[in-house]
């Protein structure tokens, strides 16, 4: 039998009991005859706790040192897991990302994997051992410094390793039974999807469904590698992320794949921008130079009396202060009036490939939000997605209303959330 790559998230290894439970599952896969490679995240909320600690000693921790600190979380869980597997009578060897050959660029906190050279993993497998790899981390090709891949990045480590090892499948074990039509923490009646296409899963992940890291889905699609999302707490069948097989039932797709939400963005408004050629370009150049990824952008029609306009955009909250500083530096050059910053917002997105051929989806979505008294601040669309920005306090109402409007409810069983704090 071939190589299986299994990834276990933080809530699956939150304490010693969890580590032992996961070790048993790993040993079961080994006994079934597979070569097993495991990728593991930091225990429970360790990564958040380490970030809190760093912020207590320095308001803006240097990115190189923050990465060094955070990768310690995964080192703890990988070594404990290897011990627990050893205790069940099988040899397991743990490896840091660097030892496992995860080579990245040098952008601390959001490094991209540029190569995977898993020689030591292959050697361990050849010798009959189980390889346990620290997720979320790598080593920079240029600086040789330790890097991290961004929050939730262990999923991407797992898929990148699975692709490099030519595994048949990458299994992602988490604290819910698969990918649902909405976050089961908000909508308990959400339905588990048996399958979902790469295209729809990419949109769901990009819109904040943190059950999978966005880049892991991009990677899997590029290598045509199926991902199997399952709970580490149950034996339920989970969800397959793969392209629909030609002629299969799921060629007849549901119109809507699901509703996603995201509370990690903030909104900046540049007030009173003179309405002349080149002003928007100057603003967005300054943000690009500061390495900020923007999401939605809206420019209002300029008021005839003043010939000035407002430009609003959303961006990751974590980049809010950097963006405000970059814009403040060009205030005189651009001649805008002021800047507004709002991080009490949330994004709610409706995703489905069936939108392409079904008119009326937008109308149903907006009337569902109106009936739930949700006020829409910004709108953006793609071929298979509609997203709105709402007040953060209205995110749950908006998700619930949209989910109900498209009949996505499961028929009987309520979705189970087995662990995690939802942090
Ligand atoms: P892990 O620690 O295993 O990486 P995460 O917390 O990163 O787990 O991801 C799992 C969580 O993703 C679930 O507990 C759930 O709250 C959340 N989630 C958001 N959207 C969805 C969705 N559509 N389907 C399933 N889970 C979702
Ligand atoms: N431990 C990291 C995080 O909390 C990586 C991961 O869990 O995937 O973001
Ligand atoms: Mg995760």
What is the CB < 6 Å shell around ligand 2?
A: 9-10, 41-42, 47, 73, 135-136, 151-154
The reply to whether 294 falls in a domain is no
Mutate to test the pocket of ligand 1, among 258, 420, 421 (most ligand atoms within 8 A of CB): 420
Q: Residue 127 in 3-state DSSP?
A: coil
Sheet containing 169-174: order of strands: 92-95, 130-134, 35-40, 3-8, 169-174, 227-231, 239-241, 195-196
The reply to whether 340 falls in a domain is no
**Number of domains the chain is built from:** 1
CA distance 41 to 384: 32
The reply to whether 110 falls in a domain is yes
Which backbone phi and psi does 133 adopt, to 5 degrees?
-115, 140
- In sequence order, what are the residues at sequence separation of 6 or more whose Cβ sits closer than 8 angstroms to the Cβ of residue 331? none
pTM of the model: 0.93
Q: What is the pLDDT of residues 11-45, one digit of tens each?
A: 999 999 999 999 999 999 999 999 999 999 999 99
The reply to whether 361 falls in a domain is no
Q: What is the pLDDT of residues 223-239, one digit of tens each?
A: 999 999 999 999 999 99
Closest atom of ligand 1 to 154 CA is 4
pLDDT(376) > 80: yes
Tell how far the Cα of 278 is from the centroid of ligand 1, in angstroms. Answer: 42
The reply to whether 412 falls in a domain is no
The reply to whether 307 falls in a domain is no
Q: What is the pLDDT of residues 53-88, one digit of tens each?
A: 999 999 889 999 999 999 999 999 999 999 999 999
Give the pLDDT of residue 248. Answer: 58
Find out whether 144 is annotated in a ligand binding site.
Answer: no
Tell how far the Cα of 192 is from the centroid of ligand 1, in angstroms. Answer: 12
The reply to whether 102 falls in a domain is yes
CATH of the domain at 132: 3.40.1160.10
Closest atom of ligand 2 to 153 CA is 8
Find out whether 74 is annotated in a ligand binding site.
Answer: yes
Name the residue at shortest CA distance from atom 12 of ligand 1. Answer: 211
Domain membership of residue 177 as a residue range: 3-244
The reply to whether 186 falls in a domain is yes
């Amino acid at each position: 039998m071939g190589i299986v790559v299994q990834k276990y998230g933080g809530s699956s290894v939150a304490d010693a009991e969890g580590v032992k439970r996961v070790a048993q599952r790993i040993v079961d896969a080994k006994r079934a005859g597979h070569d097993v490679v495991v990728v593991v995240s930091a225990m429970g909320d360790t990564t958040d706790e380490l970030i809190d600690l760093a912020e207590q000693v320095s308001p803006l921790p240097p990115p190189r040192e923050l990465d060094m600190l955070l990768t310690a979380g995964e080192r703890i869980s990988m070594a404990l897991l290897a011990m627990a597997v050893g205790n069940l009578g099988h040899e397991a060897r743990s490896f840091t990302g660097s030892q496992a050959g995860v080579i990245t660029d040098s952008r601390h906190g959001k490094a991209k994997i540029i190569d995977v050279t898993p020689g030591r993993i292959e050697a361990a497998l050849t010798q009959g051992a189980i390889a346990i790899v620290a997720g979320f981390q790598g080593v920079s090709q240029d600086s040789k410094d330790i890097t991290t891949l961004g929050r939730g990045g262990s999923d991407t480590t797992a898929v990148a390793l699975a692709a490099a090892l030519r595994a048949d499948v990458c299994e992602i074990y988490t604290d819910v039974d698969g990918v649902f039509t909405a976050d089961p923490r908000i909508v308990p009646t959400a339905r588990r999807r048996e399958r979902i296409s790469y295209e729809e899963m990419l949109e769901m992940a990009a819109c904040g469904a943190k059950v999978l890291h966005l880049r892991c889905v991009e990677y899997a699609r590029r290598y045509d590698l199926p991902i199997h999302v399952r709970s580490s707490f149950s034996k339920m069948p989970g969800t397959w992320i793969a392209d629909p097989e030609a002629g299969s039932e799921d060629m007849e797709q549901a119109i809507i794949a699901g509703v996603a939400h995201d509370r990690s963005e903030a909104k900046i408004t540049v007030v009173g921008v003179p309405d002349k050629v080149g002003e928007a370009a100057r603003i967005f150049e300054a943000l690009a130079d500061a390495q900020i990824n923007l999401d939605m952008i809206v420019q209002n029609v300029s008021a005839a009396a003043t010939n000035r306009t407002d430009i609003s955009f959303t961006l990751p909250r974590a980049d809010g202060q950097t963006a405000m500083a970059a814009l403040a530096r060009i205030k005189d050059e651009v001649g805008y009036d002021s800047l507004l910053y709002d991080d009490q917002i949330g994004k709610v997105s409706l995703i489905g490939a069936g939108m392409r051929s079904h008119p009326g989806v937008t109308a149903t979505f907006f009337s569902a939000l109106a009936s739930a008294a949700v006020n829409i601040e910004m709108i953006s669309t793609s071929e298979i997605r509609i997203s709105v920005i709402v007040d953060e306090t209205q995110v749950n109402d908006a998700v619930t209303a949209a989910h109900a409007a498209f009949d996505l409810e499961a028929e009987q069983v309520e979705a189970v959330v087995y662990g995690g704090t939802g942090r």
